[in-house]
Amino acid sequence: MKHLYILALGGLLSFSAQAQFNQPSAAAKEDMAPRQKVTNVQTNVERETIWTNDISDCATWSFGNGSAEVGQPWTDIDIDFACSTEGPSGPYNGWAGSNAVGTPQPGLNSTTSDNGFLLIDSDLFGADANYDASWVENSWAQTVDPIDCSAYPYVSISFQTRYRCWDNGASDGSEKCFVEISRDGTTWPTLTNAYTTEWMNEGMVDYGGEMVQCRYEVFPDSETGYQTDNPSILEFDITEAAGDQGTIWVRFRWIGTWGYSWEIDDVEVYETPQNDTRIDNYLSYSNYFQTGLYEYGAWAQSQIPADLQAGAKVYNVGYADQSNVMMDLDVDGNAYMSNTIDTLGYAANDTLVVSYQPTGLGTQTLNYLLSADAEDENPGNNSATQSFDVTDLQYGRDDGVVTAAFPGDGTDDYIAMPLYDIINDVTIYGIDVAILDGSEDGTPIRGFLVDMLDDLALTEQYGGELISSAEVDMATGYTNSGEGDIVWYTLALEEPYQAASGDWIGAAFEHYGGANVQIGEAQYTYDQTAFVYGPFGSGSAYDWYYSNEVPMVRLNLDPSATSTVNVEEVATMSGFELFPAFPNPANDNTRFQFRLDQTSDVTFELRDITGKLVEQRDLGTQPAGYNSFLIETSAFGAGSYTAILTVNGARTTQKLMVK
């Protein structure tokens, strides 16, 4: 029920998935790091080529735009494609391989890039217009001469490309790249909406009373900061529009609001292979669409379900039916097998599911391999790889790689909150957050937990709040550049929170505004799974908005968690030492020894991997010097435990293994 509940709130969140980034400022655009999602596709070893074009002769292409379409949002906007041998030169195109100094960057790394490629440089056009992103651009490049496909009932197109999406600073659907087909050179799919929500319906063209699909979206997963490989080789089955046709024309269309750039080269129209299945645009190591289970970049071992499964959408792009389609999954050397699709028809798709389990702590690498009875003519699109980390004391939705700074203006007051499934009972001790360089020391911040099953969650600013950390002034030296390993800033909860299986928790980080505090955002996530609160809507309206980039806010499961403080404060907490338990690993019993600099109040706890308390002792007031005590471990199950010694309120921990 929980995910249905959040989706139902979608109507209340009237702005786009990334409304919080909807600010066409130079700084905001400059801060965005690329997200690479498109993977290279190996071309078929042997296939019947119908037509090729390597963009060496620009006269074989014509260029146009929608500037003459009166009343449209692209009226008078005369940006065009061009033939080029140099990369984009817009001032924010430093991502292309050089500094953003307004000079051409290295171009598309295609097979024949030296003799030219198609380029639209929306970023340069936006710079020339003083960054006014209020317009919508609509432009295209199309073949001058027709292509004869009359001898081919099944037709596909491939091309080499590179693309990066800006999307006006928001994944709001205003930026699209299309391949379009015309049978007569003059009748093309219509385009009436700047946000192209009806792009597929408008891609239907009436030819003699037959409605034919003539539009194909090139980058369906694009979002702010998205970047393809250089190059990506993409393929589309255009049989419905081109099969058995004596004449077709090909068009590449760009629509967007001050985007980055799109480059295209080495276009090939060819006979669709007979046998070709591929892993399509859905691959999830938690099979999110079918299970509702979030993908975790740092998956706490105690929260991995026993029925964990991965899912992959598979698509038959060959014209022959494919039998016994299945998926092999290798997880760090352990083999698993999916269900089998008896028959996958032409242009049909389905989802294969593989049940598996991680191999232990550390990085888990999942290698997928698709197969069918018939030998695949394009094996390069039958494999894929994903990875995530299994951890013991952190539970994170992000993958630990900063891809953006949030918010664009760090002086805004805001709350950032990814959501978490609680699979098994667990104790939560704090909130960890990745704070970025440039944030101001001494700024008050806090963390808190939210009950997402509370009716007030996401309807009020603090709706469903469960428990908070103390408000702390941000300490010096705990920020991140965005490169290398993350330094996590810990905000310990005022009391440990016992979360039960089936709970649904938001991990919230709050900055009150005024001073600058920015945090990291990481990998893409699905709609309605991570949220921010702040002045991010139209007119800077305060509300909850969902984000397609994961705020780097994690649950801390470490019994020894304490709020991060300055080094000077840490020094005042010294005065005792806990020595290694002996024996360790333990069988029947083990002894702990500690040293005190002064008479102190001492308590001891032992917790299992889920945070459950299995042993507790109030040792009372202990004298200065060396002290020890014995713990009987024979009644404990085999596994890893955390020992916590608390002295006058300060804590230290160590690991204990029980055989």
CA distance 644 to 639: 16
First to last CA, the chain: 40
189 contact partners, CB below 8 Å, separation of at least 6: 178, 180, 202, 203, 204, 205, 214, 215
291 by DSSP, 3-state: which? helix
- One domain for residues 262 and 281: no
- Within-domain flag for 653: yes
To the nearest 10°, report the CA torsion of 600, 605, 606, 612. -160
Looking at the structure of the chain, the number of domains it has is 4
**pLDDT > 70? residue 12:** no
CA distance 235 to 44: 11
Supply the CATH number for residue 494's domain: 2.60.120
Distance of CA 21 to the CA centre of its chain: 16
Closest CA to 33 of 351, 516, 378, 404: 404
What average pLDDT does the chain have?
Answer: 86
**pLDDT > 50? residue 40:** no
Question: In this predicted structure, what is the pLDDT of residue 222?
Answer: 81
Q: Are 479 and 441 in contact (CB under 8 A)?
A: no
- One domain for residues 596 and 640: yes
Say what the pTM is.
0.69
Distance of CA 91 to the CA centre of its chain: 26
- Within-domain flag for 281: yes
- Within-domain flag for 22: no
Closest CA to 396 of 324, 329, 486: 486
Q: Say what percent of the chain tops pLDDT 70.
A: 88
For residue 270, give both structure tokens: 């060819």
Q: Which long-range contacts (CB under 8 A, 24 or more apart) does 483-486 make?
A: 483/402, 485/400, 486/400, 486/402, 486/434, 486/520, 486/552
CA distance 15 to 536: 9
507 by DSSP, 3-state: which? strand
For residue 476, give both structure tokens: 């010096």
Question: In this predicted structure, what is the pLDDT of residue 538?
Answer: 65
CA distance 452 to 6: 9
- Within-domain flag for 32: no
Supply the CATH number for residue 307's domain: 2.60.40.10
Single out the residue in 271, 288, 309 at which a domain terminates: 271
- One domain for residues 303 and 350: yes
Alpha helix ranges (H) inside 246-360: 288-291
CA distance 639 to 656: 8
Give the max Cα distance, the chain: 97
Closest CA to 551 of 450, 405, 448: 405
Question: CB-based burial of residue 561 (10 Å sphere; 0-12 exposed, 13-18 middle, 19+ buried)?
Answer: buried
- Burial track 275-297 (b if 16+ CB lie within 10 A, e otherwise): bbbbbbebbbbbbbeebbbbbbb
Q: Are 235 and 317 in contact (CB under 8 A)?
A: yes
Strands 519-524 and 489-499: unpaired
- One domain for residues 315 and 373: yes
Question: In this predicted structure, what is the pLDDT of residue 175?
Answer: 87
**pLDDT > 90? residue 639:** no
Single out the residue in 209, 239, 271 at which a domain terminates: 271
Q: For 588-638, write each residue's pLDDT tens digit.
A: 889 898 888 888 899 999 888 777 788 999 999 998 888 889 899 988 988
Residue 207's beta-bridge partner residues?
210
To the nearest 10°, report the CA torsion of 171, 172, 175, 176. 90
**pLDDT > 80? residue 447:** yes
CA distance 636 to 615: 10
SS3 readout for 435-500: EECCCCCCCEEEEEEEECCCCCECCECCCCEEEEECCEECCCCCCECCCCCCCCEEEEEEEEEEEC
Supply the CATH number for residue 630's domain: 2.60.40.1930
Q: For 357-371, write each residue's pLDDT tens digit.
A: 998 899 999 999 999
- One domain for residues 429 and 463: yes
CA distance 333 to 362: 14
For residue 112, give both structure tokens: 């024949």
Question: In this predicted structure, what is the pLDDT of residue 62?
Answer: 98
Strands 383-391 and 204-207: unpaired
Query: What is the mean pLDDT of the segment spanning 150-174?
Result: 84
- One domain for residues 152 and 65: yes
Question: In this predicted structure, what is the pLDDT of residue 4?
Answer: 28
Question: How many Cβ atoms are within 10 Å of 380's Cβ, its own excluded?
Answer: 15
Run of H or E residues at 140? strand 137-143
**pLDDT > 70? residue 290:** yes
Q: For 324-383, write each residue's pLDDT tens digit.
A: 999 999 999 999 999 999 999 988 999 999 999 998 899 999 999 999 999 998 898 899
Strands 215-217 and 176-182: antiparallel
- Within-domain flag for 432: yes
Question: In this predicted structure, what is the pLDDT of residue 525?
Answer: 86
Q: Are 472 and 530 in contact (CB under 8 A)?
A: no
Q: Phi, psi (5° rounding) for residue 565? A: -135, 170
- One domain for residues 297 and 431: no
Single out the residue in 271, 302, 326 at which a domain terminates: 271
In the structure, what pLDDT confidence band is assigned to residue 3 with cuts at 50, 70 and 90? very low
- Within-domain flag for 35: no
Q: Which residue has the higher pLDDT, 242 or 580?
A: 242
- One domain for residues 175 and 151: yes
Distance of CA 69 to the CA centre of its chain: 37
Question: In this predicted structure, what is the pLDDT of residue 133?
Answer: 57
- Within-domain flag for 42: no
Q: For 112-160, write each residue's pLDDT tens digit.
A: 999 999 999 998 888 776 655 567 899 999 999 999 999 999 999 999 9
For residue 167, give both structure tokens: 């999307």
- One domain for residues 110 and 187: yes
Question: In this predicted structure, what is the pLDDT of residue 543?
Answer: 92
- One domain for residues 530 and 578: no
Supply the CATH number for residue 113's domain: 2.60.120.200
In the structure, what pLDDT confidence band is assigned to residue 653 with cuts at 50, 70 and 90? confident
Q: Which residue has the higher pLDDT, 127 or 488?
A: 488
Residue 353 sits in which domain range?
277-391
11 by DSSP, 3-state: which? helix
- Would you give the DSSP letter of residue 192? -
Question: In this predicted structure, what is the pLDDT of residue 515?
Answer: 93
Question: In this predicted structure, what is the pLDDT of residue 584?
Answer: 86
Q: For 176-205, write each residue's pLDDT tens digit.
A: 999 999 999 999 999 887 676 788 889 999
- One domain for residues 111 and 160: yes
- One domain for residues 281 and 267: no
Taking CA 423 as the corner, what is the angle to CA 418 and CA 428, rounded to the nearest 5 degrees? 60
Run of H or E residues at 30? helix 26-31
- Within-domain flag for 25: no
